[in-house]
Amino acid sequence: MGAMPFSEFFKGRKGGIDTDIPEGSPASAGGVSATDKLAILEDLERTGLAWFWATDPQGKVAYLSPSIVEGLGSQLEKLLGQPLQHLFVPISGEGDGRSLGLKLSTRKGFSGYTVESSNQNSKVVLRLSGRPLHNDAGDFIGFRGSALDITDEFRSEEEASRLAQFDSLTGLANRHRMEQRIDSTLTTFRSAKRSAALMMLDLDRFKQVNDTLGHAAGDQLLQQVAERLHAVVAGRGEIGRIGGDEFQLLVPDMDDRGELGEIAKKIIQMLSQPYSVEEGRCIIGCSVGIAIAPYDGVEREELMRAADLALYASKNGGRGQFRFYAADLEHEANLRRRMEEDLAEAIEAGHFTVEYLPTVSLKDNRVTGLEAQYCWQDEDRGRVSADTFLPIAEGSRLIIPIGEWAMRKACEEAVDWPSSLRISFAVSPVQFAANGFAEMVETVLKDTGLDPARLELQFNEAVLLGDAAKVDKALATLFKLGVRLSLDQFGSGLSSLSYLRRAPFDALRIGANFFEPVMGSEVGDMEMVRAVIALAGAMGMETAATGVHAMPLMAQLKTRGIDQVSGFVFAEALTAEQVREELAQGEWTLAPTATGTQRASRRTVFRKIGVIHEDHYYDVTLRNLSRSGAMIQGLEDVPAGTMFVLDFGSGQLAVCGVRRSMDDTQGVEFEQELVDDGAGGLCTRHRVSPYELAAAGAPLEALHGSKNSSARSMTSGSGFAQFKLSDNAPKQGHAA
């Protein structure tokens, strides 16, 4: 049975139109009979200029124009008797806000009500008008109405609206939509006292892909980046593309910096995996900056600026990193610029030296090689650690001239050493990617006369992220020179086993990250170490472990078959003069010492922090810091077991207990471990919420640079001070 004609529906209906009217009756006197009127309506219905619908008193479908039935992709027999509101739903954003069923239940006329099919397979959109119908007795007998098909018009506007809010290439939210989402989220969350994190992402080496493979390849890569971001985020937030290679991620209800750091690491890892495009294979990287509302900003502009500063810091730190916003980042940027200038002057002034860290064979404790390490003696700063200036040197590309000078200097020294002693040199990705690196190595070897077999170049896994063809060519050139090649920090990044088969590496070096204490083992993940040693053995490579500082760890590595070890368990780095003195004594062997411990890496720091005990606030000196604890100085006669709260500033509070105490120095253990801050430092997972401070009477604002004011204000100091400040304590009550 086909769709019911309009005239058939009304014929014979009480209260409807009587089509059986004799000619010459008053109805036809005007020239248009009722039958003609129905014919006109059927023409309108058939041509699509107007469609019609009707319901019974219960709101169930009594009639639908054939075109409506067709648009719904159904048959009239299946639709008759169904509630009209089951077939149509208001479009998103319909101003009325009431459901179709509610409108019908009022039994009042309506017009211009826009609905769409409830069936997702149908795209039809109608603008409905209707009025209630009553019989002669005044009883309600249903609705009669018209429908206008606005599907094409509505879907076109919908697509235009989508394009105005979404990136046409990746399908991600665009800058305009992200700004709206951030604004609305912060406004809503502010009243509900909720947090939200904003991540700024920038792709590293994307321009290189565009320049070498073309813009079509770049577009394909961006689409794959969007897919990978969706896989990582998995619905936990909104992702936007706000520029050519810039992305944003808004994560609601998230202020745990440990978890955010893990998300950032996963994003960096996922986006750094190889991409396949039509023009070939390419590899890029990613840097991430993170800011959290309300801690780092209450308004959108404030939060975005904080995330931008963190992103800038992560890129300057060597790329492929993440950074959390901190109030001192602007000051840090100024210090970085000044250090860049001083580094350039230091190169000219010859303020760099090279020191040598012994590598020892575990078979006989014989020194088999020396690893060259950079040293910078600055007139104002004193001795500057390599961990401090190397990221800046890499970001400014000053590492290229510094590295060439250091390699030449080390090779000149090594020429006078015994032929059995190798010199090893760590090569940064920036050095390796520079034009003519392999040629520079060849020139240095020729100029110094060093046997190429005695030079070992160490590459970390970031080197493999460069252009595959260029990497393969450079490694092949170095291999032909006879230089020994090793893969440094194996297992800490993105090593591909298939790449290991192709690359001519002679050794795998296991980094200290393997030896951080783990559950059930104070010396790290020995099962993973065993697997790496087995892999190296199967591929004919030697193994070396770096950062070994304790006898128990060395013993474990020896039983598992590691070949060589370096670290404080044998010796610290030596000057060139000290190396010559050792060599003058004949065969060089080193006995391990039992003075070190393999614990969570401690960073030596000397800065002022706060200590809260009961109702008192003390300023003390933080001497060193690790994930699990710290050493503080400034309070006398503190018994073991005393509970403190350490105030690191900017809302960072850590509950800890004193585990050992000597004079005015205490070793404390944190109740909750600190987490990576992305810059090689540590931070607390959570901070004092500005909402809590506002509840205590402070204005609602981000945690700006004041170091200790918020925590200090929480203590009245009205009680008895239990501990006496020592002469080593910093001046009280002043910012660090």
Query: pLDDT of 652-677, one tens digit each?
Result: 999 999 999 999 999 999 999 999 88
241-264 b/e (C-beta count within 10 Å ≥ 16 → b): bbeebbbbbbbbebbbbeebbebb
Q: How many CA atoms lie within 13 A of 480 on its CB side?
A: 9
CA angle 514, 520, 525 (to 5 degrees): 20
Helix (H, G, I), strand (E, B) or coil at 709: helix
- Burial bucket for residue 639 (CB in 10 Å: 0-12, 13-18, 19+): exposed
Q: What pLDDT, on a 0 to 100 scale, did the predictor assign at position 19?
A: 43
Question: What amino acid is encoded at 725 in this protein?
Answer: L
Residue range 384-442, pLDDT digits in tens: 778 778 878 887 788 999 999 999 999 999 999 999 999 999 998 889 988 899 999 99
Tokens 């009243």 locate to: 191
Tokens matching residue 448: 């110094």
* pLDDT at residue 479 is higher than 60: yes
Max avg pLDDT among 40-54, 109-123, 328-342: 109-123
Q: What pLDDT, on a 0 to 100 scale, did the predictor assign at position 714?
A: 58
Phi, psi of 180 (to 5 degrees): -65, -45
79-117 b/e (C-beta count within 10 Å ≥ 16 → b): beeeebbebbbbbeeeeeeeebeebbeeeeebeebbbbb
Q: What pLDDT, on a 0 to 100 scale, did the predictor assign at position 553?
A: 83
Q: Give how far Cα 217 sits from Cα of 205, 210, 274, 432, Å.
A: 13, 7, 13, 24
Q: What pLDDT, on a 0 to 100 scale, did the predictor assign at position 499?
A: 66
CA gap 52, 84 in Å, rounded: 13
Q: What pLDDT, on a 0 to 100 scale, did the predictor assign at position 304?
A: 95
Q: What is the mean pLDDT of the chain?
A: 83
Q: What pLDDT, on a 0 to 100 scale, did the predictor assign at position 577?
A: 93
Helix (H, G, I), strand (E, B) or coil at 694: helix
Q: What pLDDT, on a 0 to 100 scale, did the predictor assign at position 165?
A: 82
Residue range 79-107, pLDDT digits in tens: 999 999 999 988 876 655 568 888 888 99
Q: What pLDDT, on a 0 to 100 scale, did the predictor assign at position 710?
A: 57
* pLDDT at residue 518 is higher than 50: no
Domains of the chain, each with CATH number or no CATH: 6-156 (3.30.450.20), 166-327 (3.30.70.270), 348-583 (3.20.20.450), 603-725 (2.40.10)
Compute the chain's Rg from CA coordinates. 37
Phi, psi of 4 (to 5 degrees): -75, 125
Among the listed ranges 34-48, 371-385, 492-506, which one has the minimum average pLDDT value?
492-506
Q: What pLDDT, on a 0 to 100 scale, did the predictor assign at position 451?
A: 96
Q: What pLDDT, on a 0 to 100 scale, did the predictor assign at position 25?
A: 46
Q: What pLDDT, on a 0 to 100 scale, did the predictor assign at position 57?
A: 93
CA gap 549, 565 in Å, rounded: 10
* pLDDT at residue 48 is higher than 70: no
Please report which confidence band the pLDDT of residue 299 belongs to, taking 50, 70 and 90 as the band edges. very high
Whether the Cβ atoms of residue 404 and residue 372 lie closer than 8 Å to each other: no
Please report which confidence band the pLDDT of residue 157 belongs to, taking 50, 70 and 90 as the band edges. confident
Whether the Cβ atoms of residue 252 and residue 196 lie closer than 8 Å to each other: yes
Q: What pLDDT, on a 0 to 100 scale, did the predictor assign at position 14?
A: 43
* pLDDT at residue 190 is higher than 60: yes
Q: What pLDDT, on a 0 to 100 scale, did the predictor assign at position 465?
A: 65
pTM, rounded to two decimals: 0.62
